[in-house]
Amino acid sequence: MNFIKNNSKKKQLTNIFLVSVIFFISDDTVTFGTNINQFLILLKYGIYFVFSMLLFIGLNFGKNILLLSSKEILTIFAFIACFFVTISFNGDFRNGYFLQLLTLLFATLIVKFLDFDLFIKCFSKILFVLSLISLLILLIANLIPSVLAPFPETVNFGGVIFKNLLVCAVFTETNFLRNTSIFREPGVFVIYLLFGIIIEFFYNKILNKKYLIVFLIAVISTLSTSGIGILFLLLVGYMFKVNKFKIYLFVSTVLILSILTLIALPDFSSLLFSKMDTDSSDYVSTLARLSSFSVPFYIFLNNPVTGVGLTNFVTLYSIYSVELFGVFIDPESASTNTIINTFAIFGFFYGGLMLLSFFKISKRLSKSTFSKIIVLVSILLMFSTQEMRYSLFVNVLFMYGLMSVNLRRQTKSL
């Protein structure tokens, strides 16, 4: 009996550890994503390789051997083929392809090791803890910033400096702090939070109010315009899903209070909506966001089968941005649409698989047709605001959408 309990605890710890890797050792973080220290970037992929080997061994040589369906095997080979077709057709041999492929294969092994329901539970727990920590540290950073002085600094590719506490990172050179948690920017953090809210609203049978309240506060603290917009969409979707007076009252109250807050606090309102003002210095952000839809879509239309590859994508983005908008827009900072970028770089087959995956994930996360539509639209909007092709989290979701329910067979003892 003790052995069974200990074995169960080991499995729980393994599951938590594996999902923690998805959060912490990721391209989405300050430490392992945009860190100017290249050693940590290389270390991330070294960890991916080692953990992939360990998972592969565990899934093929343990007591419960993983079974792959013929469709899943075909899917994996199709992805590998997509990469090599794009590389060979465009004559573009860059490390980026193999790093993205390694991330995808690692994500596949995680998906086959960890059942979807367990992943969701671990994801929510870790996100809740990270959100609580981020809100506490954000409060300290605003009230007593000197407390953070002893902690080390991390500089990203853009020269932005963060105080890095490992469990949270804080901007150091800004008048109004935005919550970024461990992530490279608030817009990435808000995507994780929105996914957590989707879980509470549409996947879980019983709403975890404690988790939901913390997630909602954390979304507001990011000051992400797109994130708050998608949040309102989810609130309205949940309101119609439950179809109860108290939920209608709750959502209506939240919306009314939000509008009154924006009216009463014009400085806060300007932080959210200055991007829409053509006279504002932040308007360039809106232009960049518009280009992130139109420019890669234009590139895709001109190269729909094999895509243009990584190198040509950067070159063509600069050329087409001048043609469409009359100004040069740097793709390194402006190409923030994961979905359309995938179509442009790899072509319609890979992009189509991504859309199919998000559609299937929406079906797994929700029950009614209306809820599925809300979840799908929200996911498409979420991943249209940030470039996250190298994100372990996105690739894990990607493969959960395409892989079947995990099946295992018991091996005979010798």
pLDDT tens-place string over residues 163-216: 999 999 998 876 678 899 999 999 999 999 999 999 999 999 999 999 999 999
Say yes or no to pLDDT of 407 above 80. no
What percent of the chain lies above the pLDDT cut of 70?
86
Residue with the larger pLDDT of the pair 32 and 223: 32
Q: Mind listing the pLDDT tens digit for each residue in 347-385?
A: 999 999 999 999 999 999 998 899 999 999 999 999 999
Q: Which pLDDT score is estimated for 281?
A: 43
Tell me how far apart the alpha carbons of residues 236 and 244 are, in angstroms, rounded to a whole number. 12
| Contact call for residues 361 and 380 (beta carbons, < 8 A) | no
| Torsion sign over Cα 256, 262, 268, 273 | positive
Kindly state the DSSP code that residue 29 receives in the 8-state scheme.
B
Cβ neighbours of residue 263 closer than 8 Å, sequence gap 6 or more: 269
Tell me how far apart the alpha carbons of residues 102 and 51 are, in angstroms, rounded to a whole number. 11
| Closest alpha carbon to 158 in 179, 168, 173, 146 | 173
Mean local confidence (pLDDT), 240-258:
77
Kindly state the DSSP code that residue 152 receives in the 8-state scheme.
-
Say yes or no to pLDDT of 279 above 60. no
Average pLDDT of the chain is: 86
User: What's the pLDDT band for 412 if we cut at 50, 70, 90?
Assistant: very low
Residue with the larger pLDDT of the pair 407 and 333: 333
User: What's the pLDDT band for 262 if we cut at 50, 70, 90?
Assistant: low
Q: Element (H or E) spanning 155, and its range?
A: strand 153-155
Tell me how far apart the alpha carbons of residues 50 and 56 are, in angstroms, rounded to a whole number. 10
Tell me how far apart the alpha carbons of residues 186 and 192 are, in angstroms, rounded to a whole number. 10
Tell me how far apart the alpha carbons of residues 147 and 170 are, in angstroms, rounded to a whole number. 12
| Closest alpha carbon to 109 in 63, 66, 74 | 66
Determine the 3-state secondary structure of 328 from DSSP: coil
| Closest alpha carbon to 82 in 374, 305, 262 | 305
Choice among 129-143, 312-326, 397-411 with the minimum mean pLDDT: 397-411
Q: Which pLDDT score is estimated for 384?
A: 92
191 phi and psi angles, rounded to 5 deg? -65, -45
Cβ neighbours of residue 317 closer than 8 Å, sequence gap 6 or more: 295, 296, 299, 329, 331, 334, 335
